[in-house]
Amino acid sequence: MTADPKFAEVFHSDNRSRLRADCESCFGLCCAALPFASSSDFAMNKNAGQPCPNLQADFRCGIHRSLRQQGFRGCTVYDCFGAGQHLSRHTFGGRDWRQAPETAQAMFGVFPVMQQLHELLWYLTEALNVPEARLIHEQLQEALEETMQLTQLTPEALMELEMPAYRAKVNVLLLQTSEMMRSEGMKSLNGKVKHPKSVGRGADLIGAKLRGADLRYANLRGAYLIAANLSGADLRGADLIGADLRDTDLSGADLTGSLFLTQFQINAAKGDAHTKIPPLLVRPAHWPGPGN
Ligand code: SF4
């Protein structure tokens, strides 16, 4: 089995912008496949596999322009890494679950699997563009190609994948990439930067006051930064994979050159016109613009 050449083209360079949701090409999969619970993010409960009542016949959202005002903030945060359009157009060949209801269960079932595979493609492509990780570029390339091949599987085969084990295998390489980049980066700072003791992998930094902190090359993998104040912080070179940035204040923070940051995380955080984000990410429409 080989990866679709057109799909493989995406990864010849750091072209991760293709790994972003294209809702126009998707059959509203996140709006039907995923569950949500009534909370500050969603105005109602919805079970997995149950289409949202706001999803229109053309698979567009009927309240797209007023999601936040109507209590659906969670919908403005979510990003599928392009898994929705890949399943809709490629895996299921453009047959939607309304025209072909017999496909609905399989389409909704494999959506979370494809989302994870695309998320891994995002990280692996980024890792391949980290010069400090050149010693493991061959393994990263192999992992990227294997992941691309997995995205070409049939729905039945996708359902059989052991995603936790596969994620763990890829994560070993991502962790090595992070360590190589951050150790080189810290060396370049000549000991001038000392991170607070509380900062580290999986750290509980909920509500932490880190305004203006120098967190260059910090290990923030999986850190809980919910509602933390990181305004004006320097996060260049910091590893942010899996960090929970819900309502984290990133006003004026510098995240250029940070590692493994995703659109989902940026969407969940609070920023402003002075927040610097990596070039492949899009400034969320709900962040205040200049003059606000
Ligand atoms: S509110 Fe709109 S974007 Fe959110 S799940 Fe429903 S249809 Fe989708």
Segments making up each domain of the chain, as ranges: 5-34+78-183, 197-292
Q: For residue 54, which atom of ligand 1 is closest to its CA?
A: 7
**Among 29, 30, 33, which residue's Cα sits nearest to residue 48?**
33
Band of pLDDT at residue 292, cut at 50, 70 and 90: low
Asked if residue 72 has pLDDT above 60, the reply is: yes
Mean pLDDT of 116-137: 96
Mean pLDDT of 149-175: 97
CATH level 3 topology of 197-292: Pectate Lyase C-like (2.160.20)
Can you read off the two tokens belonging to residue 10? 């995406």
Cβ atoms of 149 and 1 closer than 8 Å: yes
Whole-number Å distance, alpha carbon 248 to ligand 1 midpoint, is 24
Cβ atoms of 158 and 110 closer than 8 Å: yes
Give pTM, 2 decimals.
0.92
Whole-number Å distance, alpha carbon 82 to ligand 1 midpoint, is 17
Find out whether the beta carbon of 36 lies less than 6 Å from any atom of ligand 1: no
Angle, helices 163-188 vs 104-128, to 10°: value is: 20
Whole-number Å distance, alpha carbon 228 to ligand 1 midpoint, is 28
- For residue 291, the model assigns a pLDDT of 62
